[in-house]
Structure 1
Amino acid sequence: MIETRLLPTDELLRSVVSKVTEIRVRENELMQEIAELERRGAASELGYKDLAQVLRHAVRWDLTTARKWVTTAARLSGAITPTGSELQPELPATAEAVAEGALSIEHVAVVAQAMETLPAEAEAPLVDYARDHEPNEVRKFGEDLAYRLYQNDPEPRDPEPAPPGNEHMMRWKNGRLEIRAKLDKVTGAKYEALIDPLAKPRPNTTDEGPDRRSREQREGDALAELIDLMLRADQLPEHGGEPVTLTLTMPYDDLANRVGHATLDNGDHIPADQARQLACNAGIIPMVLGGTGQPLDIGRKTRTFPAAIRRTLVTRDRGCAFPGCGRPPRQCDAHHIRHWANGGDTSVDNAVLLCRHHHTLIHQSKWEVRLVTGIPTFYPPAWLDPQQRPRRNLINTA
């Protein structure tokens, strides 16, 4: 290796430029591999929500960086059709320049942003400009192109926002609070289970006669009663003499083996993993089905973790126990380390606090958690660490 102190300045600078080009070429190869992982559904295969979450653990990128790489890889890689044909990338001219090592990942982000408002034929001049200028100058050039193309056009509308998963709207009008909500299937089923027992017609009495309230009025009064119950906190509505329960119907073996689906009270289906996750923090009545789907036995309700156990978990775990997570206890569920469907009991020694994200990850992936000397200890999947060395949360337990 040549001693850099002995090189002339121009030669040393050429070496830097050459190495940066080599790095960019290697980055392009990396992005092609990331795109292939995305095409084959690697995140789902490994039990993760998306590929960015996989990369976050695999190469220790922060989530913002991981998402940037996944997004850039998608823009520079062609899709494969069901017949095996390969489609060109979203940004073909950009992909070609990146493969040559002429553009950085920051250049790609700027070009992609500019192309959101430019026609396809504008990509080539934009990329040619990017070959000789830094990303900030490319952004200005793209804005200038857009201005020259559309200066006589009416102002564009803002894009429609993506629909949210759950929506809740409140508005005061004439001294009354108007409420509207749109809930996903699981949340909606739980809401129905809370409202239904409180919205039953009142018994027909000699003094008051039949309940003449409409269904809407009964459900409105039920919501008001539910609010009062929640404020009292020590009382819950009953349905048929039982505390309110969300019933999931599925074969017991399917639940234990994490296959198939469960049926909610309203007839909608949810996958087995989601049913197991609900069972960690919701009242569940296991209904054992025979070979023809007939109910054979209805077991005792498996209760959620009581307040005393949760308080102990909060004291021990101080929040989500997953390594590196700092979410506080109020954002966490109590998770059965050994699931109750597999004989696990509801106790401090069989429980750990997990935020919603890591609770889902534990249920769907190969991550494992055990209590070692009373401390939640996590073991990564073999693809992440072939030795599966134990890990602990050093943030909440510090």
Structure 2
Amino acid sequence: MSERDFRLLATDELLAAVVGDVAEIRVLENVVMLKIAELDRRGAAGELGYRNMAHVLRHAVRWDLKTARQWVARAEAVTGEITPSGSVLEPELPLTAAAAAEGALSGEHVSAVAEVMKELPPAAEQSVVEYAKAHEPSAVRSFGKELAYLAYQQDEEPREPAEALRPVNRLRMEWKGDQLEISARLGKVAGAQFEALIDPLAKPRPTTPEEGPDARTRAEREGDAFADLIELVLRSDRLPEHGGEPVALTLTMSYEGLVEQAGLARLDTRVPVPASLVRRLACNAGVIPVVLGGRSEPMDIGRKTRTFPASLRRVLVARDQGCTFPGCDRPPKHCDAHHLRFWSEGGETSVNNAALLCRHHHTLIHHSDWEVKLHNGVPTFIPPAWLDPARTPRVNTAVHHQVA
């Protein structure tokens, strides 16, 4: 219908047309959610070298990371899993899925229903969905809180454990699979010192055309900041000693596995590490790669001085002035020196084979189809073909001019 046709409609007819169009949009949104769920199910993120599906969508359709995560979460709520035998399980929220499929609920409604159902028994879904069909998402959240209050108002109020009042420093570490789970409690002084270290590292990354604004949750930003802090400590020249040597990690794997990015390396803690991650770790100070030959004899034990000594790093800092990925403003102290030609492929530890990258973008380069090369002495990034079919080179314009 053209704009001129719109003008011929009576107000009620025009409003009815809008309502019908929105219902069609919601049906299409549901189809998009089903497609996202299928991409996630088949492991598309790993296939493309990304951390998860939300990061793929951020680049593919230029969504903010927060928006991309919302779409992935909605997709999980309205689609059922497929078992190894091929059976399709019912969605986590079956009534919500049915209402979304017929266009009665928008994606924002699905998010709201999923949010409130976390605090309610499954039997409450019908009431919540019926309410959502007649109200906006914010009202659904208020309705859900009221239902939860009515359901649990007889429950006893939780009390602060007496241990929480003791100003004692405690740390608990436990390996669960390939992840180290940490819980800590610090006294006032140590807590304030730790907070002062984490705060500047946990600031949101700047908004960039490639990645949009930093939509990580506060917990995610602080978790990444904690990991950054560990790497900063490992670069320090005042590390504690372990067995008479400064603290370091040793990675052991076969040379063929490192070159082919196949198989696993093992840390000195016996924790397995995939070969694709070893490439990034080999760039970092504080990690010693031990490469084994065919009979498992050590062929080459890298020294910390080979992983960009202070003299080379100072030259890189002067040239790059921080993370070189387009749009990133992380300062040099938060960056690794990345081998442009991988060390495992014969790349030299030299200024002409290096670029500074923050931990986030260092990981991305090692696990995706992004490429980085030196062009007239400037680190230049080439995006994956699926993101930019022309693969137009890009630079960090905060320091350098755009490459022609």
Partner of 2:138: 136
Partner of 1:327: 330
Counterpart Cα distance in 2 of 1:331 and 1:127: 47
Counterpart Cα distance in 1 of 2:358 and 2:272: 24
Amino acid at match of 1:64: K
Q: Give TM-score, length-normalised by structure 1.
A: 0.76
Matched, 1:339 2:342: yes
Amino acid at match of 2:317: V
Given candidates 368, 374, 378, the residue that maps to 1:375 is 378
The alpha-carbon distance between structure 1 residues 351 and 132, as it changes in their structure 2 partners (threshold 3 A), is same
Counterpart Cα distance in 1 of 2:155 and 2:325: 52
1:93-112 maps to which residues of 2 (within 5 A)? Answer: 93-112=95-114
Partner of 1:23: 25
Deviation at 1:92, TM superposition (A): 0.8
Q: Describe the superposition over 1:96-133 as per-residue Cα deviations: whole angstroms up to 9, x where unpaired.
A: 11111111122112211221122211111211111111
Query: Helix, strand or coil: the match of 2:306?
Result: coil
Partner of 1:261: 264
The alpha-carbon distance between structure 1 residues 54 and 312, as it changes in their structure 2 partners (threshold 3 A), is same
Counterpart Cα distance in 2 of 1:24 and 1:120: 24
Counterpart Cα distance in 1 of 2:254 and 2:29: 48
Given candidates 33, 36, 58, the residue that maps to 1:34 is 36
Counterpart Cα distance in 1 of 2:110 and 2:277: 38
Partner of 1:83: 85
Amino acid at match of 2:15: L
Matched, 1:275 2:275: no
Counterpart Cα distance in 2 of 1:166 and 1:143: 31
Counterpart Cα distance in 1 of 2:152 and 2:286: 59
- CA-based RMSD of the aligned residues comes to 3.2
Counterpart Cα distance in 1 of 2:115 and 2:286: 48
Query: Helix, strand or coil: the match of 1:108?
Result: helix
Deviation at 1:309, TM superposition (A): 2.6
Contact 1:252 1:287 in 2 (8 A): no
Stretch deviating more after TM superposition (383-392 or 331-340): 383-392
Matched, 1:309 2:317: no
Deviation at 1:371, TM superposition (A): 1.0
Unpaired runs of 5+ residues, structure 1, are 174-186, 195-225
Given candidates 136, 142, 153, the residue that maps to 1:151 is 153
The alpha-carbon distance between structure 1 residues 117 and 247, as it changes in their structure 2 partners (threshold 3 A), is closer
Counterpart Cα distance in 2 of 1:289 and 1:115: 52
Q: Describe the superposition over 1:176-233 as per-residue Cα deviations: whole angstroms up to 9, x where unpaired.
A: xxxxxxxxxxx9xx99xx9xxxxxxxxxxxxxxxxxxxxxxxxxxxxxxx99x629xx
1:7-86 maps to which residues of 2 (within 5 A)? Answer: 7-86=9-88
Partner of 1:230: 238
Partner of 2:365: 362
Structure of higher RCO (CA pairs closer than 8 Å, 6+ residues apart):
2
Partner of 2:199: none
Deviation at 1:155, TM superposition (A): 3.6
The alpha-carbon distance between structure 1 residues 118 and 344, as it changes in their structure 2 partners (threshold 3 A), is same
Deviation at 1:264, TM superposition (A): 2.6
Deviation at 1:253, TM superposition (A): 2.2
Counterpart Cα distance in 1 of 2:147 and 2:271: 51
Q: Give TM-score, length-normalised by structure 2.
A: 0.75
Query: Helix, strand or coil: the match of 2:372?
Result: strand
Counterpart Cα distance in 2 of 1:238 and 1:125: 60
**Count of matched residue positions in the alignment of Structure 1 and Structure 2:** 340
Partner of 2:127: 125
The alpha-carbon distance between structure 1 residues 313 and 165, as it changes in their structure 2 partners (threshold 3 A), is farther
Query: Helix, strand or coil: the match of 1:352?
Result: strand
Contact 2:254 2:294 in 1 (8 A): no
Q: Describe the superposition over 1:321-347 as per-residue Cα deviations: whole angstroms up to 9, x where unpaired.
A: 222333222221110101122121122
Contact 2:381 2:393 in 1 (8 A): yes
Counterpart Cα distance in 2 of 1:23 and 1:334: 47
The alpha-carbon distance between structure 1 residues 76 and 284, as it changes in their structure 2 partners (threshold 3 A), is closer
Amino acid at match of 2:387: L
Deviation at 1:140, TM superposition (A): 2.2
Q: Describe the superposition over 1:351-386 as per-residue Cα deviations: whole angstroms up to 9, x where unpaired.
A: 111111111111122211111122211112222223
Contact 2:96 2:110 in 1 (8 A): yes
Deviation at 1:316, TM superposition (A): 2.9
Amino acid at match of 2:315: T
Query: Helix, strand or coil: the match of 1:281?
Result: coil
Counterpart Cα distance in 1 of 2:290 and 2:332: 32
The structure having more radius of gyration, on CA atoms, is 1
Partner of 1:213: none
Unpaired runs of 5+ residues, structure 2, are 161-173, 175-179, 190-226
Q: Describe the superposition over 1:124-147 as per-residue Cα deviations: whole angstroms up to 9, x where unpaired.
A: 121111111111222222222223
Counterpart Cα distance in 2 of 1:396 and 1:98: 47
Contact 1:318 1:397 in 2 (8 A): no
Amino acid at match of 2:311: A
Counterpart Cα distance in 2 of 1:123 and 1:267: 46
Percent identical pairs in the alignment equals 58
Stretch deviating more after TM superposition (91-100 or 148-157): 148-157
